[in-house]
């Protein structure tokens, strides 16, 4: 690559990083449920991305790379807050408050409240797939977990969300069949 191409490529990447703030923020908000914390996580992510962008070998992977950084910042934050907690713990972070079930809040509030109740690892997968449209393989790479784990966490997250947002309705009977072998 020529020097001018190199410079232009770097400028394009920096612009793409700069314009990723809103998307990163939405995912960070879904993960942590706190606007100020989400903003700080995104700011740290962007700062680190700008410093390390020259290390990114595959420019096409910029998006996934940004979310990997965000994920690492989030994990660091959690470790600093709760050093003895297992990050892979699948238990819900908190019990659903009674208000969640009885109050008919507007959809935004209800969804955010429901997502906040999901176990942390489920939230992480759900936001990346349902908000950002990442493939399972991308999510597996970003979160550094097996693809099968992505699928199972996503499924549990969706079931949990349905249960929380439609408490009067039950999911149709789940069919437990052979393990999935037909994904791309």
Partner 1 sequence: MSTMDKETWDDLTLTAYIDGELDDATHNAVLSAMEYDKALSERVCRLRRTKDWMHAGYSSALPPQRTLPKQHPSARLLRNGLAASFIALAIGIGSGLLGYVCAERGATTLAENADPNRIVLHIDDSDPQHFGQLLDYTEAFLQEHRDSGVQVEVVANAGGLDLLRVDSSPYEQRVKTLTENYTNVQFIACMNAIRNLTAAGIDATLIDDVHTGETAVDHIVKRMNQGWTYRKVDSLSDI
Contact positions toward partner 1, by CB under 8 A? 3-4, 7, 10-11, 14, 18, 21-22, 25-26, 29-30, 35, 38-39, 42-43, 46-47, 50-51, 54, 107-108, 110-112, 114-115, 126-127, 129-131, 135-136, 151-152, 154-155, 157-159, 161-162, 165, 171-180, 182-184
CB of 136 to partner 1, least distance (A): 5
User: Which CB, 26 or 61, lies closer to partner 1?
Assistant: 26
CB of 83 to partner 1, least distance (A): 27
CB of 26 to partner 1, least distance (A): 5
Q: Find how far residue 37's CA is from the centre of its chain.
A: 14
What is the distance between the alpha carbons of residues 101 and 113, in angstroms, rounded to a whole number?
A: 10
User: Which CB, 9 or 89, lies closer to partner 1?
Assistant: 9
What is the distance between the alpha carbons of residues 23 and 127, in angstroms, rounded to a whole number?
A: 11
What is the distance between the alpha carbons of residues 179 and 78, in angstroms, rounded to a whole number?
A: 32
Tell me if 92 sits within 8 A of 118, measured CB to CB: yes
């Amino acid at each position: 690559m020529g020097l001018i191409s190199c410079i232009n490529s770097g400028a394009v990447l920096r612009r793409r990083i700069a314009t990723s703030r809103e998307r990163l923020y939405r995912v960070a908000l879904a993960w942590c449920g706190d606007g100020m914390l989400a903003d700080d996580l995104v700011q740290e992510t962007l700062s680190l991305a700008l410093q390390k962008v020259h290390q990114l070998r595959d420019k096409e992977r910029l998006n996934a790379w940004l979310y990997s950084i965000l994920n690492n910042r989030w994990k660091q934050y959690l470790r600093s807050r709760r050093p003895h907690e297992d990050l892979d713990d699948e238990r819900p972070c908190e019990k659903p408050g009674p208000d969640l079930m009885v109050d008919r809040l507007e959809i935004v509030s209800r969804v955010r409240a429901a997502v906040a109740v999901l176990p942390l690892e489920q939230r992480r997968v759900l936001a990346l797939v349902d908000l950002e449209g990442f493939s399972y393989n991308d999510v597996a790479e970003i979160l550094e977990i097996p693809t099968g784990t992505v699928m199972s966490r996503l499924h549990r997250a969706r079931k949990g969300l349905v249960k929380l947002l439609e408490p009067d309705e039950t999911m149709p009977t789940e069919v437990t069949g052979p393990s999935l072998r037909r994904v791309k």
